[in-house]
Structure 1
Amino acid sequence: MRVVIAEDSAILREGLAQLLALRGVEVVAAVGDGEALLAAVAEHRPDAAVVDVRMPPTQTDEGLRAAVTIRQEHPGVGVLIFSQYVETRYAAQLLGSDCAGVGYLLKERVVDLDEFTDALARVAAGGTALDPQVVSQLFGASRRAATLDALTPREREVLALMAEGRTNQSIADLLVISGRAVEKHIANIFTKLDLPASDGGHRRVLAVLRHLESGG
């Protein structure tokens, strides 16, 4: 797996590069701003890019805007946002387009490097890796967040786990329920949100995000 890292902190950037290298990940470039990120992706065509949200010059949303550009210009490159912040506007744009191969993880909630590497590999392969807290904030910022009121607490739990890219069996194991119960919850979620059921957990979650952000 070939990866580009975009992180403005030199210590974090180099530290992450070294840690990923120990897991067999080839870091082809490690840069500190959005323009350098776009140039590195165009040059190296990596399998994925790990991108911080806030980078020079304004320290606001340069990284996330660069990530949107990557998905538009290089759709085969997976993008894993790795940040302390949830920036809802561009995050919704990133997740609301037809772009399998996207992740958004919060730094303070990633405590296991193996899990991070697995999430990165999943994104590089065209899957998703979304922190439930990110999904929650995106739903809260959506103009159609009220539609989620129809979901039961259990259905919300299932939806959050779907957003992490979990399989039906994984959801069943984590919630200690049967696979049939998971299927029923997922069917109810799509019925209540007026979304057709489809194969592929990541596609279903992205469809939900698109639907909520678009305002229907």
Structure 2
Amino acid sequence: MIHLVIADDQPLVRSGIRMILEGEPDISVVGEAADGDEAVALVLTHEPDVLLLDVQMPGIDGITAMQRIAVRNVATRVLMLTTFDLDEYVYRTMRAGAAGFLLKDMPGEDIVSAVRQVARGADALLAPAVTRRLIERFAAAPPHPPAAGLAQLTARELDVLRLVGRGMSNAEIARELFIGETTVKTHVARVLMKLGLRDRVHAAIAAHQAGLT
């Protein structure tokens, strides 16, 4: 069972997301918060698997709340929620250690999928529209593919990098290549290490710049 806290200053948003998630047999909402301070208190009390946290809230904002949670060494993974897909928010939330960045107007099934992926320990997760825009922005820059690093990748690692560049999750890559999801996770980790990349978003950018997609 995935235990989850929802933090958003709009009651209708909280109730709507709660209805979506509580309809799933493997997800339990253990608390709701209307501001950042309340979100921190709920996480420290319940230590949920996932926190859905609005970026902009009264009192301390979502990013500050996430930083306060992080220093307490709580294992809760944070999915940031916002109505704005501005790059400023994306960069700040990912730098602060968020496990993902989702838009509130995403389909309900995508939010459910994101919660499950993050609870399973998936790498940094971005809303598809945000991922596409970031990739397009970086891909438009002068190409600088890590050629030396690419030469170190095995054929299977190149296959995985190519699919990461297409925005596929570990589970989707596993189905595409007929291998286990744990094996995919291992390949992704090796790709990141060999190319000197921080996360799968940067790996997707590298795949585009290298012409793999």
**Category of TM-score, reference length = shorter chain:** 0.5 to 0.7
Q: 1:159 aligns with which of 158, 161, 165?
A: 165
- Measured after TM superposition, the shift of residue 114 of structure 1 is 2.9
Q: Is residue 107 from structure 1 mapped to residue 100 from structure 2 by the alignment? A: no
Instruction: State, as a whole percentage, how many aligned pairs show the same letter.
Output: 24
**Equivalent residue, structure 2, for 1:168:** 173
| One-letter amino acid of the structure 2 residue matched with residue 103 of structure 1 | G
Q: Structure 1 pair 136/68, CA: closer, same or farther in 2 (3 Å)?
A: farther
Q: Is residue 119 from structure 1 mapped to residue 119 from structure 2 by the alignment? A: no
- Measured after TM superposition, the shift of residue 69 of structure 1 is 3.1
Structure 2's unaligned 5+ residue stretches are 146-160, 179-186, 205-213
Q: Structure 1 pair 206/19, CA: closer, same or farther in 2 (3 Å)?
A: same
Q: Is residue 20 from structure 1 mapped to residue 18 from structure 2 by the alignment? A: no
Q: Give the Cα separation in 2 of the matches to 1:41 and 1:124.
A: 15
Q: Give the Cα separation in 2 of the matches to 1:131 and 1:18.
A: 20
Q: Give the Cα separation in 2 of the matches to 1:26 and 1:67.
A: 21
**Equivalent residue, structure 1, for 2:158:** none
Q: Structure 1 pair 5/137, CA: closer, same or farther in 2 (3 Å)?
A: same
- Look up the SS of the partner of 2:167 in the other structure: helix
Q: TM-score, normalised by structure 2?
A: 0.64
Q: Give the Cα separation in 1 of the matches to 2:117 and 2:166.
A: 17
Q: CA RMSD in A?
A: 4.0
- Look up the SS of the partner of 1:2 in the other structure: strand
- Measured after TM superposition, the shift of residue 8 of structure 1 is 0.9
Q: 1:51 aligns with which of 31, 36, 53?
A: 53
- Measured after TM superposition, the shift of residue 94 of structure 1 is 3.6
Q: Give the Cα separation in 1 of the matches to 2:17 and 2:73.
A: 23
Q: TM-score, normalised by structure 1?
A: 0.63
Structure 1's unaligned 5+ residue stretches are 174-185, 210-216
Q: Give the Cα separation in 2 of the matches to 1:27 and 1:208.
A: 33
Counting matched residue pairs gives: 178
Q: Is residue 86 from structure 1 mapped to residue 88 from structure 2 by the alignment? A: no
- Measured after TM superposition, the shift of residue 102 of structure 1 is 0.5
**Equivalent residue, structure 1, for 2:151:** none
